[in-house]
Amino acid sequence: MKAVRVVVTGRVQGVGFRWSARRAAERIGVAGWVRNEAGGAVEAHIEGPAERVDAMLAWLARGPDDADVRDVEQREAKVEAIQGFAIK
């Protein structure tokens, strides 16, 4: 199991990023959560098998069609054994 905490910056709020991220996470098969941050970024916690987490990170680097992702910062996180994927 692998877990990462991610902060995505750019035009990522007001473009359906969180809802699209949840759909992508469910399709890819990872658990975690996603939320908007006050400064305009989106933060996420992703966990699951390493190859699936990597696939979700690749999706986050693109985002939905209306997003303009400028940067994705990631750091290793503790596996929390989260079930499902939530929008906070």
Q: What is the pLDDT of residues 41-84, one digit of tens each?
A: 999 999 999 999 999 999 999 999 999 999 999 999 999 999 99
Instruction: Give the total number of structural domains in the chain.
Output: 1
> Which among 53, 62, 79 is positioned nearest to 8, based on CA atoms?
62
Which pair of tokens denotes residue 71? 């940067």
Rounded Cα gap, residues 58 and 61, in angstroms: 5
> Is the model's pTM score more than 0.85?
yes
Catalytic residue among 5, 11, 23, 36: 36
In the residue annotation, 36 being an active-site residue is answered as yes
In the residue annotation, 52 being an active-site residue is answered as no
CATH code, domain with 60: 3.30.70.100
Cα separation of the two ends of the chain: 23
Q: Residue 32 belongs to what domain range?
A: 2-87
